[in-house]
Amino acid sequence: MRRAVGPLDKRKRVTRCQSCVKRRIKCQGLFELMSETSGERWIKHMLYGTCRILQSKDPGNLGPLSERLFEAFSLLEASRAIIYGESTFLFQDSWMKRNKSSATDSSDSMEAMLGFLVRVSMWSKSSFFYHLEAIPSRLRASNPTVQLLTLQARYFQVEAERKDI
Residue at 1 is within a domain: no
How confident is the model at residue 11, as a pLDDT?
66
Terminus-to-terminus CA distance in the chain, angstroms? 63
Q: Please check the confidence at residue 77 and state whether its pLDDT lies above 70.
A: yes
How confident is the model at residue 8, as a pLDDT?
60
Residue at 136 is within a domain: yes
How confident is the model at residue 7, as a pLDDT?
60
Q: Please check the confidence at residue 58 and state whether its pLDDT lies above 80.
A: yes
Sign of CA dihedral 73, 78, 82, 84: positive
How confident is the model at residue 115, as a pLDDT?
76
Residues with Cβ within 8 Å of 63's Cβ and at least 6 positions away in sequence, in order, are: 101
Residue at 17 is within a domain: yes
Residue at 76 is within a domain: yes
How confident is the model at residue 103, as a pLDDT?
47
108-121 pLDDT per residue, tens: 677 777 778 778 87
Assign residue 164 a region: left if phi > 0, alpha if psi is -120 to 50, beta otherwise? left
Q: How far is CA 87 from the centre of its chain?
A: 9
Average pLDDT over residues 151-162: 90
Structural domain boundaries, residue 83: 7-163
Residue at 37 is within a domain: yes
Percentage of the chain lying above the pLDDT 70 cut: 81
Number of independent structural domains in the chain: 1
Residue at 24 is within a domain: yes
97-150 pLDDT per residue, tens: 776 655 445 556 777 777 787 788 778 878 888 898 899 999 999 999 999 999
